Amino acid sequence: VMPSGGWWAGTLLLSLLCSGTVAARPKVLILGGTGRIGSACATHILRARCAPIEVIIGGRSHRRAQAALQEIAADARLDKGSSELRFEQCDWTDPDSLSRAIAGVDAVIHTAGPFGEQPMVLRACIDAKTPVYVDLSDPLPYIRAAKAMAADAHAAGTCALICAGAFPGLSNVLAMEAASLLPPGEAVGDIDFSYFTAGLGGSGKINLYITNEGFGTPVPTYREGVLDPSLEAGDQPRKVDFFLDDDDPSAKLVGTRTVWSWPFPEAATVASELSIAGSSSVGMGTAPELWNWIMTLMVRSLPRTIWRSQLFCHSLALFSLPLVSITDRYVGETHAMRIDLTGAKGSRIAAVQAHRSFRRIVGQSAAEFALAMIRHPVSHGLEAAAAANPAGALAAELLPIPPGVWTPEELARDPNERRSLLARMLRVEGTLNFGVRVLEYAPGTPPK
């Protein structure tokens, strides 16, 4: 995927920021910033910055904060005592604590879990008129509840991007790019999302709880162009090659894996965005593969209603954590994704991306989405500066999406913005390989 005009325009904006055309120093609050994904997000923002910025990691524990601050400062190569990083104690589940934390910040990145809650943080940011909001929450009911706030967000001037991690998130953008490679006039037929994460991917115990909850959630797949959810999470195994070429690093580190049906929302949201005529699917696998089969046996043995119990899911997560922690030492944090898209006339497109660490690519992806949207706070001065600076006037037009509540595939509608995003997101530190390739054109269709 090569950068195009959007990349040049984005570079112009960054050069304006770096040259001091925009004087404001944006404040970015990362809720869950003391956690594994939040700290990776903070590190990437600080390493990717080209102008002064203030990153605030929000969390409940001072003890965890000290460890996180040390890790972030070291990884981001900050000077000792840097004013660009600090901790603020807050409990995002407490409305008063949350209101105090978000007051006066320019962007909020919500990485705290669990992620199936109602969009109360988004509501608080809209009420506070926070310019930019990004989160990782991805259940379909959450997405619908958040999208219902779009008019309020627009009125408040809040530009919100939800389910903006690696998958969903980066995967949605890759799917949009793959669809753009279909020959003119060929609609999307089927789309399949496949993911692999070694162990917990370094994301911590919360991932166990979320996984357990997923077994009781309908998988939002399309069939014959219509949304047709089914309770099949943890079932329907299939083999997937997480590489395009035999010499891809992911061919050796990940290879061919078994994935099982999983209730990620992109099977519905991207399918809807692309108006697919056929079916969608989404599958997830982990290592060691023994865990996949154990969980499948449990899912087939226990009623789905049990998996909807928070008490059961939490208790099972606590029980299995010591065992998973042992195996995680040996399997690492490797992550890979593959998107396969088939056109209505038979063309086939595939996209692959792989990374050394799941928790880092999630944090890095959220950070890149936020950096693409930190237009309001970083450039509150752009409109004023534009009158005296023609280049500033051009940069002021680069807002990727207007205020509202959006999903990654909606952000990726514009090809320039999409390729600008991919040019950065596919080259973050730790990336093993990536590619988007036409595997086959339908007979009689000219290449695009």
When divided into structural domains, the chain yields a total of: 2
- Lowest-confidence region among 215-219, 379-383, 396-400: 379-383
| Predicted pLDDT of residue 281 | 96
* Average pLDDT of the chain to the nearest whole number: 84
Q: Is residue 442 part of a domain?
A: no
CA–CA–CA angle 249, 251, 254 (5° rounding): 95
* Residue at 446 is within a domain: no
Q: Looking at the structure, do residues 241 and 296 belong to the same domain, yes or no?
A: yes
Give the pLDDT confidence score for residue 230 in this predicted structure. Answer: 87
Residue 126 CA: distances (Å) to CA of 106, 129, 145, 288: 12, 5, 14, 42
Domain membership of residue 424 as a residue range: 5-162+360-429
pLDDT digits (tens, 9 = 90+) for 387-397: 333 333 323 34
| Helices 415-425/170-180 angle, 10° precision | 130
Identify the three-state secondary structure at position 379: coil
Percent of the chain with pLDDT over 70: 83
| Residue 108 belongs to domain with CATH number | 3.40.50.720
CA atoms within 13 A on the CB side of 224: 0
- Tell me if 444 is assigned to some domain: no
Q: Are residues 237 and 376 in the same domain?
A: no
Examine the fold and report which residue of 357, 379, 394 is the final residue of a domain before the chain moves on. 357
HSE of 276, CA atoms in CB hemisphere, 13 A: 28
pLDDT higher than threshold 80 for residue 408: yes
Higher pLDDT, 252 or 378: 252
The stretch 382-391 carries a mean pLDDT of 36
Asked if 355 and 167 count as a contact pair (C-beta separation under 8 A), the reply is no
Helices 206-214, 310-331: inter-axial angle, 10-degree rounding:
120
Q: Could you tell me the pLDDT band of residue 49, with boundaries at 50, 70 and 90?
A: confident
CATH number of 321's domain: 3.30.360.10
User: Does residue 318 have a pLDDT over 70?
Assistant: yes
436 located within any domain? no
349 — pLDDT class (breaks 50, 70, 90): very high
* Cα 307 to Cα 310: distance, rounded to the nearest angstrom: 8
Q: Is the same domain home to 320 and 189?
A: yes
DSSP string across 329-360: HHH-B-EEEEEEEEETTS-EEEEEEEESBHHH
Instruction: Please tell me whether residues 178 and 84 are part of one structural domain.
Output: no
pLDDT at position 81 is 78
Q: Which residues contact 106 (CB under 8 A, 6 or more apart)?
A: 24, 26, 27, 28, 130, 131, 132, 374, 376, 377, 378
Residue with tokens 């043995």: 301
Does any domain span residue 447? no
**Residue 399, pLDDT above cutoff 70:** no
Same domain, 325 and 351: yes
Residues 353 and 386 in one domain: no
Distances (CA, A) of 31 to 39, 73, 192, 196, 202: 10, 17, 32, 26, 18
Confidence of residue 308 (pLDDT cuts 50, 70, 90): confident
Residue 392 lies in a domain: yes
